[in-house]
Amino acid sequence: MKLKSALLVILISLCSVSMQAQSMAVNLLNGSQSTYNLTSVLNLTFNSGNFSVKTASGTIAYPLTNFKNLKFSQGVYTSVIAKNTESTFHAIPNPFQNNLLVNINGLITSDASISIYSKDGKLMKSLPVSGSNITLELSDLSAGIYFCSLYNSGEIKTIKIIKE
């Protein structure tokens, strides 16, 4: 599986939040989570069906079949305003057939948008967010794995979605 473009999306996301983010959490479908201090991360790689995190102490590979999402965070918030701007989102049903309901919890800013990327990082759809519940009509996508990214006031969150 070639996911170099997906890595580019994550690296762009990382660059966008690097001045604010202090840590990165790798969340897996089984509920486990690994957290990394961003100053110790040397490289992020997608290849051979794995997502790998390289640090000075070694490389850890996570199978994409068990990969849920990456979350970049400050760890410690410096003001109530920063804490209140954080939003979370999820998509149901996942896997889906034609329509996907995206639910956003938290403050939604006027510049918020949702983008759908193929597993190789190609932008498939992008649209502005106008509320906390958005139905995406995705019947034109072929079956497979995609990534749904929420861009909200400089914050980027991405989840894996699967079309049956």
Distance between CA atoms of residues 82 and 76, nearest Å: 10
Strands (E), the chain: 23-28, 33-37, 41-47, 50-55, 58-63, 67-73, 87-92, 99-106, 113-118, 123-128, 133-137, 144-152, 155-163
- Which domains, ranges and CATH numbers included, belong to the chain? 4-163 (2.60.40.3080)
What pLDDT is attached to residue 124?
Answer: 92
pLDDT tens sequence across 90-112: 888 888 899 988 888 777 777 88
Band the pLDDT of 74: cuts 50, 70, 90. Answer: low
Structure confidence at residue 86 as a pLDDT band (50, 70, 90): low
Task: State what percent of residues in the chain have pLDDT above 90.
Answer: 13
Summary mean pLDDT of the chain? 75
Q: pLDDT confidence of 153, banded at 50, 70, 90?
A: confident
pTM: 0.48
